[in-house]
């Protein structure tokens, strides 16, 4: 298709560069089947990042197609504004059940940005309606610098990035950050855990004190920072920051948009946290991406503050609780549970991490392997001793080569990210490792083979 006839404006895409390679390899996907996706020429690729971290049960599941069709025939749309329908009630009850009753109330939405935006507004209104007047000034949201919670203005304001300010600023006031728990490149200048004293977690209390306790509404985090490079904090981190929130009266918000529904080897990454979060944000694998769906879960303590005339939560969207999306979400959750996909994620993830660690003994570009379940990152370096990051171009070249080898991965800066569907087996694990091993091979022979693969694919893309 000629560039002039292409009218779609792709998200997060340098359009002029994309249009040059739209026919290359996986740039245009036309079909999916289980853990694989295909281009128009029928080339098969391992879906190494679950299309966008969300197709947990794989493509082509008839159960979800049937659930959507049945619901469309029965009731294609109904609002949850001052009315309700059965699928929304059922999905809310299901989410309360599978989160162990820690949360009693569910707001349904359509995407991760909405789930988090809902949580932020909920936190501010919660404090504004406190019976304690001194709580009414709590509005600040503390987050981790470089976090990714979505694209709306509120959630964009959580990142603390100059690049966001430059493009969209001024961002919203009342958002402050602490540095992330990035052990491989500790922003606190520490060398290793636990000798570091968990400075990254104690930084939260220092920030609350410096900002003024009575101004802080909530602290939000991703259990594992996804977009920043699969940043996994020490297990103790969650307890410390949770206790700090309790001590200072700030709500504790967990964004499990990516980590939820088995991605980390547990149904929810937060399921064993003590203290538990007050608000839980879910999306992506809640429907495996088959239809837009999200949820924000809150404790009964939070919900009760919104009761009474004038205290209602002034928030909602047209598609909130959409019956077809809810029906698909229910069917998807049944598959995740009945096929024990969180358990498979734990098993296959452990195998994949172990294989990558073995690979690092031979491939010197691998500086760090980290992750949990099937949420894994490989940080590439030019020099292991100095931890000098591999250049953006060198990393992109590796990603392109992986595509010619039949593997799609997500990447950010010098980090390769692997979030395949939770249905993968030992064979696919082996295929992923083999492709990465080949793409990281160095030497004249390897470089010539790499160039030949790329030339062959570009030639095919022109013909196709």
Domain boundary pick from 315, 338, 361: 338
Per-residue model confidence (pLDDT) at position 1: 41
Residue from 403, 396, 347, 401 nearest 38 by CA:
403
* Structural domain for 377, as ranges: 3-57+340-463
Segment 292-316, tens digit of pLDDT: 999 999 999 999 999 999 999 999 9
Shared domain for 174 and 313, answered yes or no, is yes
Shared domain for 175 and 249, answered yes or no, is yes
Mean local confidence (pLDDT), 32-41 = 96
Per-residue model confidence (pLDDT) at position 128: 97
Shared domain for 189 and 213, answered yes or no, is yes
Place of tokens 């976090």: 147
Percentage of the chain lying above the pLDDT 90 cut: 89
Domain with 327 in it: what CATH number? 3.40.640.10
Reported as a pLDDT band with limits 50, 70 and 90, residue 4 is: low
Mean local confidence (pLDDT), 373-397 = 95
Distance (Å, whole) CA 363 – CA 78: 55
Per-residue model confidence (pLDDT) at position 462: 73
Segment 183-238, tens digit of pLDDT: 999 999 998 898 899 999 999 999 999 999 999 999 999 999 999 999 999 999 99
Mean local confidence (pLDDT), 422-448 = 94
Reported as a pLDDT band with limits 50, 70 and 90, residue 34 is: very high
Distance (Å, whole) CA 396 – CA 406: 15
Distance (Å, whole) CA 347 – CA 265: 8
Per-residue model confidence (pLDDT) at position 459: 83
Region of residue 443 (phi > 0: left; psi between -120 and 50: alpha; otherwise: beta): left
Give the strands of the sheet with 251-255, arranged side by side: 105-109, 294-298, 279-282, 251-255, 216-221, 140-144, 175-178
Per-residue model confidence (pLDDT) at position 464: 58
Distance (Å, whole) CA 225 – CA 182: 9
Reported as a pLDDT band with limits 50, 70 and 90, residue 406 is: very high
The secondary element (H helix, E strand) that includes residue 44 is: strand 44-47
Per-residue model confidence (pLDDT) at position 463: 66
Shared domain for 365 and 285, answered yes or no, is no
The pLDDT of residue 108 is above 80:
yes
Domain boundary pick from 294, 314, 338: 338
Query: Among positive and negative, which fits the CA dihedral 236, 237, 243, 247?
Result: positive
Distance (Å, whole) CA 425 – CA 351: 10
Reported as a pLDDT band with limits 50, 70 and 90, residue 460 is: confident
Do you know the residue count of the chain? 464
Domain boundary pick from 322, 338, 354: 338
Mean local confidence (pLDDT), 398-425 = 96
Mean local confidence (pLDDT), 412-435 = 97
Per-residue model confidence (pLDDT) at position 461: 77
Shared domain for 294 and 207, answered yes or no, is yes
Residue ranges of the alpha helices (H) in 148-271?
A: 153-156, 162-168, 199-211, 235-248
Shared domain for 201 and 309, answered yes or no, is yes
Distance (Å, whole) CA 367 – CA 403: 22
Shared domain for 182 and 253, answered yes or no, is yes
The secondary element (H helix, E strand) that includes residue 270 is: none
Shared domain for 91 and 48, answered yes or no, is no
Indicate the number of domains in the chain.
2
The pLDDT of residue 282 is above 90:
yes
Q: What is the CA radius of gyration of the chain?
A: 23
- C-alpha dist (Å) from residue 357 to 171, 361, 377, 398, 399: 40, 7, 11, 18, 19
Tell me the two tokens of residue 45. Answer: 């690729």
Shared domain for 46 and 71, answered yes or no, is no
Shared domain for 305 and 218, answered yes or no, is yes
Shared domain for 365 and 319, answered yes or no, is no
Question: What are residue 267's phi and psi, to 5 degrees?
Answer: -55, -45
Shared domain for 414 and 455, answered yes or no, is yes
Distance (Å, whole) CA 306 – CA 320: 18
């Amino acid at each position: 298709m000629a560039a002039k006839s292409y009218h779609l404006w792709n998200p997060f895409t340098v359009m002029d560069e994309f249009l040059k390679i739209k026919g290359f390899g996986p740039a245009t996907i036309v079909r999916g089947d289980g853990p694989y996706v295909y281009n128009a020429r029928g080339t098969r690729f391992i879906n190494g990042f679950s299309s966008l971290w969300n197709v947990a049960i794989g493509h082509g599941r008839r159960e979800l197609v049937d659930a959507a069709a049945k619901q469309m025939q029965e009731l294609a749309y109904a609002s949850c504004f001052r009315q309700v329908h059965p699928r929304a009630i059922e999905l809310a009850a299901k989410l309360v059940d599978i989160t162990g009753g820690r949360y009693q109330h569910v707001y349904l939405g359509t995407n991760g940005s909405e789930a988090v935006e809902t949580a932020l507004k909920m936190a501010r209104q919660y404090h504004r309606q406190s019976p304690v007047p001194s709580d009414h000034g709590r509005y600040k949201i503390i987050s981790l610098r470089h976090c990714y919670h979505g694209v709306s203005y509120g959630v964009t304001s959580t990142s603390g990035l100059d690049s966001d300010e430059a493009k969209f600023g001024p961002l919203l006031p009342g958002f402050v950050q602490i540095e992330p728990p990035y052990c491989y490149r500790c922003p606190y200048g520490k060398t290793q855990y636990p000798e570091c004293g968990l400075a990254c977690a104690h930084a939260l209390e220092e920030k609350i004190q410096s900002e003024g306790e009575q101004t802080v509404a909530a602290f939000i985090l991703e259990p594992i920072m996804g977009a920043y490079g699969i940043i996994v904090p020490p297990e103790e981190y969650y307890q410390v920051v949770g206790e700090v929130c309790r001590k200072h009266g700030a709500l504790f918000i967990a964004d499990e948009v990516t980590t939820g529904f088995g991605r980390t080897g547990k149904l929810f990454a937060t399921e064993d946290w003590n203290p538990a979060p007050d608000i839980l944000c879910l999306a992506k694998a809640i429907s495996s991406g088959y239809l837009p769906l999200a949820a924000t879960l809150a404790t009964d303590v939070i919900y009760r503050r919104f009761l009474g005339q004038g205290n209602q939560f002034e928030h909602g969207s047209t598609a909130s609780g959409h019956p077809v999306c809810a029906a698909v979400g229910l069917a998807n959750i049944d598959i995740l549970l009945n096929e024990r996909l969180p358990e498979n994620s734990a098993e296959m993830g452990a195998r994949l991490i172990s294989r990558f660690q073995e690979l690092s003994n031979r491939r010197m570009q691998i500086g760090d392997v980290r992750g949990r379940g099937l949420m894994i990152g490989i940080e590439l370096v030019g020099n292991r001793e100095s931890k000098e990051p591999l250049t953006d171009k060198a990393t992109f070249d590796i990603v392109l080569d992986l595509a010619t080898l039949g593997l799609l991965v997500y990447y950010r800066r010098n980090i390769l990210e692997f979030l395949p569907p939770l249905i993968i087996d030992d064979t696919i694990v082996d295929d992923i490792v083999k492709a990465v091993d080949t793409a990281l091979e160095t030497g004249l022979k390897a470089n010539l083979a790499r160039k030949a693969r790329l030339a062959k694919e570009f030639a095919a893309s022109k013909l196709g």
